[in-house]
């Protein structure tokens, strides 16, 4: 039975009537079915007993009882159940909306957000660093124009993410990472001219197995941070070279010094790497060491190169990259080796070969400043 209702005030009453009608039919069918099942069970057991008696009787009575049971069984309808109503006979409640109302609803939904098959940016690569992880991400939606990115991380057993980077770059080195510990990362983006952030990317897990770089503690003239990766030249009159705790820089990696604050420069200032710790020097401008001074001069084994880099300033980063180049066949004494060194600073770089009398795949790093105020972070 079709019912057309024009006034919205009758929707509730119509629904109640239709549900009542449908529910009544279903209840009736349930009662009839249950009653028929119970009657069928009784009738079944009533005929089961004579059937057993006909089989188990003596020979003379066997044929007579079996024939009688067979005749009665022909008139039994144990599978007789009430008919279940078809779907077309069951009333249903439906509503047909005008196109103008659908447009209004669509506009209201779009005011609160959008539906997308995937986030516009995704994490792309993790590169382990000493005490850190280089995280790279990329844009996967060609129609999305990003203005800024937002990177968050947390330990895998933590409950909340925290911001670690907001900016326009597509990579960032997350520092203060404990080695051999899993961290989760996620990234989102903000479209050009928009205030809200996009949905988060799928979280991914990264870790580093490389121990962090640390300065040697206890040297008068330098104050260290709690993680011993930041050194501050204090007001002490004592002057010398601050070395790393261990030779944790390996060839093939990138060693980075970031100048946090600056003091008065001096030509004997130095940032660099060396084969071994040598006390008694006030600078890395010596044998078995390569370094850059705060004025941009580059020294190899104590000799100044012709090429020069820009002077370091607050916020400057100085990077060292090295690869091993073998000059001759190795011997029990060590053989002749050279390291191809690349020093970069302020978008400039110098490349040269550093010849050594022994193979050195791991090196110490160090710094020296004549005047207080210099603060340098190593990673």
Residue scoring higher pLDDT (276 or 62): 276
Over 50: is that where the pLDDT of 12 sits? no
Model pLDDT, residue 35: 54
Rounded percentage of the chain residues whose pLDDT exceeds 70: 76
- Average of per-residue pLDDT across 29-41: 52
Q: Do the Cβ atoms of 151 and 137 come closer than 8 Å?
A: yes
Model pLDDT, residue 11: 40
User: What rounded mean pLDDT belongs to the chain?
Assistant: 82
Confidence of residue 379 (pLDDT cuts 50, 70, 90): very high
Model pLDDT, residue 268: 93
Model pLDDT, residue 2: 37
For the stretch 102-128, pLDDT in tens is 888 888 877 776 777 788 999 999 999
Residue scoring higher pLDDT (60 or 320): 320
Rounded percentage of the chain residues whose pLDDT exceeds 90: 50
> Residues near 309 by Cβ (< 8 Å), separated by ≥ 6?
292, 296, 297, 298, 343, 344, 345, 346, 348, 349, 350
For the stretch 126-173, pLDDT in tens is 999 999 999 999 999 888 889 999 999 999 888 999 999 999 999 999
Measured N-to-C along each axis, helices 11-56 and 59-73 cross at an angle, to the nearest 10 degrees, of 160
d(CA 140, CA 125): 14
Model pLDDT, residue 351: 94
For the stretch 271-293, pLDDT in tens is 999 999 988 889 999 999 999 99
Burial class (CB in 10 A: 0-12, 13-18, 19+), 192: exposed
Q: Look at the domain 222-378 and name its fold.
A: Jelly Rolls (2.60.120)
- Average of per-residue pLDDT across 224-237: 90
Architecture of domain 121-206: Sandwich (2.60)
Q: Where are the domains of the chain?
A: 8-95, 121-206, 222-378
The one-character DSSP state at 208 is: -
The torsion angles phi and psi of 80, rounded to 5 degrees, stand at -80, 115
Over 60: is that where the pLDDT of 222 sits? yes
Model pLDDT, residue 359: 80
């Amino acid at each position: 039975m079709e019912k057309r209702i024009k006034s919205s005030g009758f929707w509730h009453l119509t629904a109640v009537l239709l549900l009542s009608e449908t529910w009544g039919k279903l209840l009736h069918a349930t009662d009839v079915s249950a009653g028929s099942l119970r009657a069928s069970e009784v009738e079944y057991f009533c005929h089961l007993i004579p059937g057993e008696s006909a089989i188990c009787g003596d020979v003379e009575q066997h044929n007579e009882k079996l024939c009688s049971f067979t005749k009665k069984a022909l008139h039994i309808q144990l599978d007789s159940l009430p008919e279940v109503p078809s779907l077309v006979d069951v009333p249903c409640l439906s509503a047909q909306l005008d196109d103008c109302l659908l447009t209004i609803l669509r506009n209201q939904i779009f005011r609160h957000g959008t539906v997308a098959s995937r986030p516009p940016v995704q994490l792309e690569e993790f590169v382990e660093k000493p005490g850190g992880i280089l995280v790279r991400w990329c844009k996967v939606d060609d129609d999305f124009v990003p203005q800024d990115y937002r990177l968050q991380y947390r330990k895998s057993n933590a409950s909340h993410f925290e911001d670690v980077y907001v900016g326009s770059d597509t990579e960032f080195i997350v520092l203060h990472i404990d080695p051999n510990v899993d961290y989760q990362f996620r990234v989102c983006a903000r479209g050009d001219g928009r205030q809200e952030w996009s949905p988060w990317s799928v979280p991914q897990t990264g870790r580093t197995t490389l121990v962090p770089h640390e300065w040697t503690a206890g040297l008068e003239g330098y104050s260290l941070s709690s993680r011993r990766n930041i050194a501050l030249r204090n007001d002490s009159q004592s002057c010398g070279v601050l070395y790393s705790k261990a030779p944790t820089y390996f060839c093939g990696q990138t060693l980075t010094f970031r100048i946090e604050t600056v003091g008065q420069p001096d030509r004997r200032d130095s940032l660099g790497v060396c084969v071994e710790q040598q006390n008694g020097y006030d600078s890395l401008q010596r044998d078995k060491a390569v370094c850059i001074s705060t004025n941009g001069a580059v020294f190899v084994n104590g000799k100044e190169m012709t090429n020069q880099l820009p002077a370091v300033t607050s916020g400057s980063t100085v990077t060292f990259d090295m690869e091993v180049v073998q000059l001759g066949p190795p011997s029990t004494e060590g053989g002749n080796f050279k390291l191809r060194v690349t020093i970069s600073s302020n978008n400039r770089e110098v490349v040269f070969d550093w010849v050594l009398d022994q193979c050195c795949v791991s090196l110490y790093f160090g710094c020296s400043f004549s005047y207080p105020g210099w603060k340098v972070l190593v990673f």
